[in-house]
Amino acid sequence: MFSLEDGPVAQVIMDPVDADFQEVARQAADDCPEGAIEVEDEAETPRDEETTTEVFEDTEVEESSSIFISERKEGMKAIVDPDKCIGCGICEGIVPEVFSLLNEPYAEVLLDPVPEEYQEATRESAEECPEEAITIVD
């Protein structure tokens, strides 16, 4: 139902999702450490430009039982690939409010989402990273 094949952010790949997978979709939302997946019943789902929505039909229950999975748009995210990061500290030197090497041998992201006042410096950190270990997601 989700794929990480095209990058560090999961994409919905099954639309509509079989009724058998609705509980799995709810569990994915509950388990997401970033809270980036939201499952709502059809009657509760707001429709606005800030939400990307995929529809899941359930034919085995009441007619109004469609559920929706939405990606929350909460602003810029910085993602560090620990397999690429060499811990050089360039990112931390540019914007220590966002990146830290204090706890790990690779950079950790301290602020998620990245506040607007640090976004330009965070983009600079990604550009200056010698290993291209930082991905920016808007």
Question: DSSP readout, 47-104?
Answer: --TTEEEEEE--TTS-TT--EEEEEE--S-EEEE-TTT-----HHHHH-TTTEE-SSS
Same domain, yes or no, for 49 and 90? no
Same domain, yes or no, for 55 and 94? no
Q: Which of 23, 42, 72 is the last residue before a domain boundary?
A: 72
Same domain, yes or no, for 63 and 83? no
Query: 0.75 exceeded by the pTM?
Result: no
- Tell me which residue range forms the domain holding 65: 2-72
Give per-residue pLDDT as tens, 6-42: 555 666 666 555 677 778 777 777 777 666 666 655 4
The whole-number pLDDT of residue 65 equals 43
What token pair was written down for 108?
């950790």
Same domain, yes or no, for 9 and 40? yes
pLDDT above 90 coverage of the chain, percent = 43
